[in-house]
Amino acid sequence: MKLYPLARIDTPAPETGDYTLAVYTPGEGGNYALALGYVESYTMGEWIRVPIDVVAIHRHEGQPPLLIFAPMIAVLAIGAGLLLRRRRPLSPFALSGAVAGLLYIGSGAMTLMQMVIAAAGTDVGAALLLTLVFALIPVLLGVWALLVAFRKHVGAGERIAMAALVIGPLLAFIAAVLPVRRRALP
């Protein structure tokens, strides 16, 4: 079973200041996580960084990068192979729409693989079903993008919807190039 021992300490800090917390388990090593406070709230920047932070969490769990990205690599490789087998060249719209669709499908495949890793050795529950839904959403969006990319006639509605698919990844890219720390006020 994949259960992790938890410790809970609920005490107010006696005074304002910096504190150091040491975690020690005799004879064992490993990674530790620490959550402070009672309320989970996130800034817009934290929401945008979710894709990057999720990879960092999997690395923290000890997963190699190749394992984390294997589903994405597989989807892109299969998709590229299928696109290269086409006899007719692709328009810029079709190519970019196909790549977007494959990236969405790869994202869902990564989530599905992480779900399988997390579910190994645990009881199947409602959380697994919820994760399955969250994994299928990008897969379905990716399939839709592929279908639209290869249509002969694309209307304004499809173009607007296709543009909406870009907003999340665009914000993730912006987060990747922005500084991590906030500047201190003078």
Is residue 39 one of the residues assigned to a domain? no
Give the Cα separation of 24 and 28 in Å (integer).
8
Total domains present in the chain:
1
Is residue 38 one of the residues assigned to a domain? no
CB 1 within 8 A of CB 118: no
Instruction: Per-residue pLDDT tens, the chain, 186 aa: give them.
Output: 355 667 777 888 888 888 888 777 777 766 677 777 777 777 878 877 887 888 998 998 889 999 999 999 999 999 999 998 887 888 888 888 899 899 999 999 999 999 888 888 677 777 788 888 989 999 999 999 998 888 888 888 888 878 777 776 777 777 777 777 666 565
Token pair of 37, please?
A: 């406070």
CB 141 within 8 A of CB 165: yes
Is residue 6 one of the residues assigned to a domain? no
CB 71 within 8 A of CB 113: yes
Is residue 7 one of the residues assigned to a domain? no
- What is the total residue count of the chain? 186
Token pair of 61, please?
A: 């769990």
Is residue 63 one of the residues assigned to a domain? yes
Residue-number span of the structural domain to which 144 is assigned: 44-177
Is residue 12 one of the residues assigned to a domain? no
The model scores a pTM over 0.75: no
What 3-state DSSP class applies to 64? Answer: coil
Is residue 33 one of the residues assigned to a domain? no
Give the Cα separation of 73 and 80 in Å (integer).
10
Q: Distance between terminal CA atoms of the chain? A: 50
